[in-house]
A and B are shown apart, each in its own frame.
Chain A
Amino acid sequence: MLSITRRVGERIVIGDDIVLHVQEVSGSTVRIGIEAPKAMPVYREEIWAAVKEENAAAASAAKDLPSGPLKPPAS
């Protein structure tokens, strides 16, 4: 992994389209501004991983979903 040391107010450019701004450092917290193209979504890693896992689990469903006595409440 590439590691780069930056100061508050400095930036990192990835390719031609992605810019990271180091906005603020406070204790163990760092605030980062991100400019990225619309087609390049940005996620907090733990949320991305959790959603990825749920999507993969959903996509593993068999064709015949079990049916049961439970129905959704009438909306």
Chain B
Amino acid sequence: MVIRECAPLLTRIVNPQARSTLVTDILSLSSNNSSGGRELQGFFQRMSNKSLPDALKKCILDTFGEPLKASLSADVTINGLTFSTSSKHLGNSSILLQSGVGGHFIPARIEYIASILCNDHDESTAVRYVAARKYQPAVVKYDPFIAFPLLQAGLFSQMLDELELYPISAIDCHFAHLPITWEDQKMMVVISLSRVSESFQQQRICRIDPFW
């Protein structure tokens, strides 16, 4: 039990938080696509849906139509990059969701990371989700970033939508954002930190695994 409780600390020692763009490339070599939910097996026994935050319980109920058991975690590592909840690290919680449309991105903020148990009696059915709120699009007369699509930047409102569940695979990348006042409204400039130029994804001819 003590070792289990210390798991986050031990993980941090073995896999320290990257502080450089180049280090994340190296970490991606030794990581799986996602740290998954399996390491949390056993935690569901003491974590029922009763101990979950009300907003998350409602979100699970709305999504699955029934109250399911879930276990919360503060972060998840995908391809060597750490994604956290907003209460832990606002920058690491800022994610772009895949929109399915080339060059289009949807910024959101992770509120909770939950492994949801689809079958009460089988912990292997746990699937990890992020509960996130999307940032609302900006309603402005002039967005200077539209003219430069290769920058993958744009204006968004600082207002957030309702909490929604997304599978881990829906996370595309992190984004950086700068809160500003634009046309007398509270806005933020969102800039994608994707390692791929979105505008050209359709014409890609070769791809390498991040190495250097």
Q: Do A and B bind each other?
A: no
Residues of A within 8 A of B (CB): none
Residues of B within 8 A of A (CB): none
